[in-house]
Chain A
Amino acid sequence: MLRLEKLTKQYKTGDLALKDIDLLIPDGQVMALIGPSGAGKSTLIRCVNRLVEPTTGTIYLNETELSSLGQGELRRARRRMGMIFQEYALVERLSVMENVLSGRLGYVSFWRSYFRKFPQTDVDEAYRLLERVGLDHMADKRADELSGGQRQRVGICRALIQNPELLLVDEPTASLDPKTSRQIMRLVCELCKERKLSAIINIHDVFLAQMFAERIVGLQLGEIVYDGQPDGLTPDVLTTIYGEEDWESTIEKVKEEDHEEESKDSIFLASAK
């Protein structure tokens, strides 16, 4: 369970990115965070694992209060939160395997990681995850040899091998084509279900959010303006989040998508194996 209380972030420039955000994400819930660029989605996610320091407010991950941890404790807390990035953020000159194993850095000593002597259990788990996303044959390829969708799957493995309680997902599909976007979103959601993970997924694409998330939070100028079911996103709601636009077609598309769901699932599973 993740709990944000009165979370505020003001940047040095004076921009107020988040204003008194209160949010509770129960275990196992996949929540999509939508909103226009600059609404504070990225800041919110980064405040949770403190890649960005919140200005005021508290953050609880289960019983740990994240916002006041010292350096060592923060490192240990970060192990419990996996993060997936927009441009995949793989270390390009490292191999796929090294990238996945870097998710275990918080658990092994410096010298073990320096000589790449990870415990066998970690290596086993890495292979299992790579197999799960269909990339085990790529283990020794360098990360920059992979396609966008493959890189994002490696990014997912890196986050999951941390054995996290929470996934922080920052625009996972922004640099992917529509088909790969769906596959990645589906994969993230399936894995969350398998492992009973809760997740915050920042996403631009409203209808991907509706397709995959069980709860949608709309952020606008650092404030929550919508919090509810995916099907509660009416044109009016979208107008309050993003501003005036013709939303009817977006919503129509989602309804059509829902019917196609079944058949696509089977195709994806076949291609992932």
Chain B
Amino acid sequence: MSTVRIWKRPPFIKRAWLRWSLTIGGGLFVLVAIGTMDVNWQRVAAGAPRAERFIASFFPPDFASKSSDIWEGIFESLWMTVVSTVVGILLSIPIGLGAARNLAPRPIYLFFRGVLAVSRTFPEIIIALFAVKLFGFGPFAGIIALSIGSIGFYGKLLAEDIEDMDPVQAEAVKSTGSSWLQWLNYSVQPQVTPRMIGLAMYRFDINFRESAVLGIVGAGGIGATLLTTFDRYEFSSSATILLIIIGIVMAVEYSSGYIRKWVQ
């Protein structure tokens, strides 16, 4: 009775025919997709020296000639970012609480999940187009767009973090006879705060980068200045703007890492 018992990990998809047809079908799809991509290699070759010239024209970055426009745009972008991040997060706290399955009754949960789904459906740039039509050109439209975008992002992640919390800690605080607000403050908040602070920093970063794009549709920020420099072939000024954006994003990145470690 000492037969060797062979063991193999059971396959993820049990039905052999389904497993094979998915594998082969997926492989074919990728091949066909690559095959239909019509790359004109001659044009690529011709473009290479032009790209070289184009990139070379960014150097050296010109910090001087348009500096007042650039700094004005950067500061506008920055305060749009600050305002929209704060407004977005403040509004997404009640929405996130409502959209957490373990906190809210079913109808409220469904309603707030709906709100979050809608606010995440449209990219910020589309909301900005609407906002520009509604409120006119300028940073206010951008702030509206970024705030709505922040709600969709932050509210959803907050709701999910609350759903993932340890229910026993929450139960323990509830069993002391605390009110609902006290219960939130003593059992839910400590469990979600560190992650939510990290995400707030991340959203600040996203909003700043988005604010550079929104200027293109006239919703304020550095984007408008960037677009103008491109249109006028002032690439050395464009380079300056891009460098400043990179610098600010990196600064946010490093400080968020530091802050996250500190609040953990």
Tell whether, in the assembled complex, residue A103 and residue B176 are in contact, meaning their CB atoms are under 8 Å apart: yes
**CB atoms of B168 and A91 under 8 A apart:** no
Q: Which residue of B lies closest to A87 (CB)?
A: B168
> CA separation between A92 and B168, bound complex, in Å?
11
Instruction: Tell me, yes or no, whether B177 is within 8 Å of chain A by CB.
Output: yes
Q: A92-B169, A114-B185 are in contact. Are A105 and B176 (CB under 8 A)?
A: yes
B166-200 vs A, CB cutoff 8 Å, 1 = contact: the mask equals 10110111111111011101110011011000000
A124 and B194 CA atoms in complex are apart in Å by 30
B187 and A91 contact, CB distance less than 8 A:
yes
Of chain B, the residue at the smallest CB distance from A80 is B177
Q: Is there a chain B Cβ closer than 8 Å to A106's Cβ?
A: yes
In the complex, chain A residues whose CB is within 8 Å of the CB of B177: 75-79, 105-107, 162
Q: Say yes or no: B186 contacts A89, CB within 8 Å.
A: no
| Chain B residues within 8 Å of A49, by CB | 175
Q: Mark A64-96, 1 if CB is under 8 A from B, else 0.
A: 000000000001111101010101011111100
Choose one: B168, B179, B183; the contact of A89 (CB below 8 Å): B168
Q: How far is the CA of A229 from the CA of B168 in the complex (A)?
A: 32
A174 to B41, CA, bound (A): 69
Interface size range on B against A: 20 to 34
A91 in contact with B172 (CB, 8 Å): yes
Known: A51-B171, A85-B168. A91 touches B176 (CB 8 A): no
Pair B182/A89 contact, Cβ less than 8 Å: no
Cα distance, A270 to B86, chains bound together (Å): 54
Residues on the A chain within 8 Å of B169, using CB = 89-92
| Contact for A113 among B172, B185, B191, CB less than 8 A | B185
Q: What distance in Å separates the Cβ of B101 from its nearest Cβ neighbour in chain A? A: 15
Interface core residue of A91, A94, A98, A155 (most chain B CB under 10 Å): A91
Q: Across the interface, do A81 and B175 meet the contact criterion of CB distance under 8 Å?
A: yes
* Chain B residues near A153 (CB-CB < 8 A): none
A-B contact count (CB 8 A): 81
A85 to B166, CA, bound (A): 13
| Bound-complex Cα distance A87 to B193 (A) | 22
Query: What is the chain A residue whose CB lies nearest that of B177?
Result: A106
Could you mark each residue 145-158 of chain A with 1 if its beta carbon is under 8 Å from any beta carbon of chain B, else 0? 00000000001001
Residue in A closest to B187 when the chains form the complex, CB atoms: A91
Cα A105 to Cα B63 in complex, Å, equals: 58
Query: Which residues of A18-68 are within 8 A (CB) of B?
Result: 49, 51
| Residue contact A90 to B172, C-beta cutoff 8 Å | yes
Q: Which residue of B lies closest to A107 (CB)?
A: B177
Known: A51-B174, A89-B172, A91-B172. A75 touches B190 (CB 8 A): no
Q: Which residues from B are CB-within-8-Å of A85?
A: 168, 171-172
Q: Across the interface, which residues of A come within 8 angstroms of B176, CB to CB? A: 78-79, 83, 102-106, 158, 162
With contacts A87-B168, A93-B191 known, is A113 near B186, CB below 8 A? yes
Bound CA–CA A110/B182 (angstroms): 6
Chain A's closest residue to B188 (CB) is A91
With a CB–CB cut-off of 8 A, which chain A residues contact B182? 105, 110, 113-114
Bound-state CA distance A90–B190 (Å) is 11
Instruction: Tell me the bound Cα distance from A110 to B189 in angstroms.
Output: 14
Most buried by A among B169, B177, B179, B190: B177
B183: chain A residues at CB < 8 Å are: 105
Do A83 and B173 contact each other (CB < 8 Å), given the known contacts A93-B191, A93-B194?
Answer: no
> From A104, which residue of chain B is reached at the shortest CB distance?
B176
| A79–B174 CA distance with the chains assembled, in angstroms | 10
Question: Would you give the shortest CB distance from A91 to chain B, in whole angstroms?
Answer: 5
Please, which residues of chain B bring their CB within 8 A of the CB of A75? 177-179
Within 8 A of A (CB), among B94-153: none
A68 to B8, CA, bound (A): 56
CB-contacts of A125-178 with B (<8 A) = 155, 158, 162, 168
Residue pair A105, B193 in contact (C-beta under 8 Å): no
Contact B190 A102 (CB under 8 A): no
Give chain A residues whose Cβ lies under 8 Å from the Cβ of B173.
91, 102, 105
A92's nearest neighbour on chain B, judged by CB, is: B169
- Whether B171 and A102, one on each chain, are in contact in the complex, defined by CB atoms closer than 8 angstroms, is no
> Can you name 21 A-B residue pairings with CB atoms under 8 Å?
A51-B175, A79-B176, A83-B176, A85-B168, A89-B172, A90-B169, A90-B172, A91-B173, A92-B190, A93-B190, A93-B191, A103-B176, A105-B182, A105-B186, A106-B178, A107-B177, A113-B178, A113-B182, A114-B182, A155-B172, A168-B175
B residues bordering A, Cβ < 8 Å? 166, 168-169, 171-179, 181-183, 185-187, 190-191, 193-194
List 8 other contacts, CB 8 Å, given A79-B176, A102-B176, A105-B178: A51-B175, A76-B177, A77-B177, A83-B172, A89-B168, A90-B169, A91-B190, A162-B177
